[in-house]
Amino acid sequence: MTILMLAPALQENIWGGTKLATFGYQLPSDHVGEAWVISAHDNGVSKITQGEFAGQDLAQLWTERPELFGGHDPEQAFPLLAKILDAQENLSIQVHPNDKQSSENFGKTESWYILDATPDAKLYYGHHAPTKAALKTMVDEREWSQLLRTIPVQKGDFFYVPAGTFHALGAGVLALEIQQSSDSTYRFYDFDRVDATTQQSRPLQIDAALSVTKAPHVDPILNQRTRLQDQTILTRLLTSPKFTIDKLSVRGESHFNQHHDYELFNVISGDLTLTAEGTTYHLKKGDNFIMLKDTGNYTLSGQGEVIVSFVTPTSYREQELSYLDN
């Protein structure tokens, strides 16, 4: 059995706050917006905290020991990234490129599971421009109130954000973000903020953003489904071309089999026990780890919620795609 327990890389942001401390993370300031909790990306690499590989970072292990992850091309980068985001203020209105458009190893298709939200919290998701030409005109003329589409959100909501989607988290949202391992972001609009450190506005990339934004916006169609696994309610939140996401609501002893090359686990609430091959891990909110395929059968017990994600296998892509990705 191989479990890679990971420590997050924390990022300070103009829009960040202090809620990430509720996950047990030691914050360096009062404006920490991101915890890159499972990451091998150069801009924020997670460290392995326990076991044989303790002290190594995830990127190093992925590169040096590809056989642990099922075998991969030496030049291939780790494909997924999990973050927890604390939006004390609005994020910038932004868009991400797809695989072909990105200058990185991957594009940036992502998803949000809403961990918490203030009563008036909302997302910016999609836009009201009917064509690319109309989108450009409305951006050039700063018609943000007519262009921006907002959606009220609450704890437990889930959103799929394919590359090319015009979007932003609104103030008061705490979210788990599962995405491709990319940091390519093009900003349309930053609410005319001035950075307190630089005394300057953050740069915008309007031309690049326009070039990759889909118009008109079309909402993805998600074919979510739920089943019981012993004393766990298992909800398939998403099967997309890039990744699949499950939510495990554990209510008592439940048995599972890890049959993918590797799976990402984010414990988002409760207290749980994971047991495999006679070894026991005590899990709490804020714990994040990768379970490798050699784990095989394992048991979860206790009360809590876990988000599990993995690269979508080819068989799923052929049979179970539950998205509209135009």
pLDDT digits (tens, 9 = 90+) for 203-222: 999 999 999 999 999 999 99
Active site residue 187: yes
Return d(Cα 10, Cα 5) in angstroms, integer. 16
Which whole number is the average pLDDT over 299-326? 75
Cα distance from N-terminal residue to C-terminal residue, the chain: 40
166: tokens are: 């015009």
Summarize pLDDT for 157-175 with one digit per residue, the tens: 999 999 999 999 999 999 9
What are the φ and ψ backbone dihedral angles of 135, each rounded to 5 degrees? Answer: -60, -50
Over residues 141-164, mean pLDDT: 98
CATH of domain 3-212: 2.60.120.10
- Separation between Cα atoms, residue 8 and residue 21, nearest integer Å: 12
Q: Which phi and psi (to 5°) does residue 38 adopt?
A: -135, 100
pLDDT at position 322 over 70: no
DSSP assignment of 243-304 equals EEEEEEEE-S-EEEEE-SSEEEEEEEEEEEEEEETTEEEEEETT-EEEEEGGGEEEEEEEEE
Q: Is the pLDDT of residue 326 over 50?
A: no
Largest CA distance in the chain: 64
Domain boundaries in the chain?
3-212, 225-319
Region 128-142: mean pLDDT is 98
Q: Please tell me the predicted confidence (pLDDT) of residue 323.
A: 35
* Fold match flag (3-212 vs 225-319): yes
3-state secondary structure of 136: helix
Q: Using an 8 Å Cβ cutoff, are 62 and 78 in contact?
A: yes
201 touches 194 (CB < 8 A): yes
Tell me the per-residue pLDDT of 25-81, one tens digit each, with 9 for 90 and over: 999 999 999 999 999 999 999 999 999 999 999 999 999 999 999 999 988 999 999
Give percent of the chain above pLDDT 70: 97
225-319 is a CATH 2.60.120.10 domain: yes
Q: What local confidence, expressed as pLDDT, does residue 317 receive? A: 54
Nearest 5°: CA angle at 188, between 183 and 193?
A: 95
Please report where in the chains the tokens 């005590």 appear, as a residue.
Answer: 282
Q: Which of 65, 142, 187, 251 is catalytic?
A: 187
* pLDDT surpassing 70 at residue 253: yes
Measured distance CA(134)–CA(159) in Å, rounded: 25
CA distance 147 to 124: 10
Q: Is the confidence at residue 4, as pLDDT, over 50?
A: yes
pLDDT given for residue 196 in this prediction: 78
pLDDT, tens digit, 9 for 90 and up, residues 257-309: 998 999 999 999 999 999 999 999 999 999 999 999 999 999 999 999 999 99
More confident residue, 95 or 223: 95
Return all residues near 287 (Cβ < 8 A) that are at least 6 apart: 5, 265, 267
- pLDDT at position 321 is 46
Residue 195's pLDDT is what? 82
Measured between alpha carbons, how far is 129 from 127 in angstroms, rounded to an integer? 6
Average pLDDT over residues 76-91: 98
Interatomic CA distance for residues 147 and 142, integer angstroms: 9
Residue 207 CB partners (closer than 8 Å, separation 6+):
none
Segment 123-127 shows an average pLDDT of 98
